[in-house]
Structures are given as C-alpha cells and as structure tokens.
Copies of this chain bind each other. A is one copy, B any other.
Amino acid sequence: MKLYDLELSGNCYKVRLFCALTGIDIELIPVDFLAGAHKQSPVIDLNPWGELPVLDDGKVVLRDSQAILVYLANKYEKTQWWPKDPAEQGEIVQWLSVASNEIQNGPCAARLVDKFGMALNKERTIEVSDRILPLVNAHLENNDWLALNRPTIADCAVFPYIGTAWEGGVDISGYTAIVNWIARIKELPGYTSMPGV
C-alpha cells in the first residue's frame, strides 16, 4: 500500500499521522511537488485532479485525505477512530467537512500564501481563520477531543493545518483550548510530527 506523499503537505500528514497512531504500515512515495511531479505520470494517472496525497492500494486508488482516512480506518477495523454507529459517524463527518472547507481555506490557505507564495487572497484566508478557530476553540473548551470524547479521524483531519497555522501568520496562542488539544495529540502513543508543527 503506497501513499504518494509530500512531507510539507498537511493533507499528506493527516494520513501519515493516522497510520503512525494506529500502527498501519504504509509505504511513502515522496513526490517532487516543486518539479510538478504530481502533474506527471504516474501520479496524474492515479489522480487526474493533480493533488496530493494519493493512496494506491492495488485495486483501490483514492484521492482526498478525508476519504483516505475513512478507507484506512474502515479497512483495518480501527473502530475507535471511525466507528460504525450512525450518530458517531455523523459526529465525525461534521469535522471532516470542516477540515475540507474552513480549515483548508483558512489556516491552510494562509500558509500556502506565506510559505509557498501561492496567489490566493491572504485577507480572505485570515477572515476564514478568524471565524473557524473560535468555533473550534469553544468546542474544545468542553471537549478533550473533536468527536466522541476520544481521538478519532476527526482530530487527524483537523489538526495538521491548525498545528502549522503560524506558518501562515495565523496566531493560535490565544486559543487556549486549541493549544491544550494540540498538546494532548502530541502525547498520543505513536505520535509523529511534520515540519512546522
């Protein structure tokens, strides 16, 4: 099982982190993103969207980090991280949507501007961050984890771009509940980091 991977990508880190925390063995295939290797064979053949990560598990090929988390947790029966109960799945999917949308277009996009020089509207990335981070913080004031009172794939999906938010000029130090949640994640058995976290 191969993960086409970029070390500096928080989306790739979501998968690396989950695999580390759950002991899933995955072969990392580094992709030379700056040279555009994600838009060339073999990556573009596996994912015509030209994005990383891409999971290649033989007959199963998946783009999108949230989809990969669901697939892996389900395949390896990590029901602590992705249960089968309807209400519990619903609770987690709420956070997968936040990871896909607000976190991606807030702190992640701010970092893409500052760290990688992408031509996005920086002001908008800060607006989105300023809306979503207080909501996440308020939730974490009453909950140790994003969903189900335990670590789940919701935490793996939301954490990477909050943990690297400072690289986009987004200061999270005032969000005490988020800061404490990050500390809890870093103490989980098997935890692995990425540059910038």
Contacts and interface: CB of A to CB of B under 8 A. Distances in A.
Interface string A79-108: 000001111011111101110110011000
A55 to B, nearest CB: 8
Interface stretch (A28-36, A60-68, A173-181, A186-194): A60-68
Contacts of A104: 101
A150 to B, nearest CB: 18
B121 A62 contact: no
A48 interface: yes
Nearest to A131: B49
In this complex, which of A64, A124, A135, A138 has the most chain B Cβ atoms within 10 angstroms of its Cβ? A64
A166 interface: no
Contacts of A66: 93, 96-97
Contacts of A60: 86-87, 90
A181 B86 CA distance: 29
Contact of A100 (B86, B90, B101): B101
B70 A89 contact: yes
Contacts of A105: 101, 105
B48 A94 contact: no
A96 B93 contact: yes
A91 B62 contact: yes
16 contacts: A59-B87, A60-B86, A60-B87, A62-B94, A64-B94, A66-B93, A67-B91, A67-B93, A71-B86, A71-B90, A74-B85, A74-B86, A75-B87, A93-B96, A101-B105, A105-B105
Given A74-B89, A97-B97, 8 more contacts: A48-B135, A62-B87, A66-B96, A70-B89, A71-B87, A71-B89, A105-B105, A121-B121
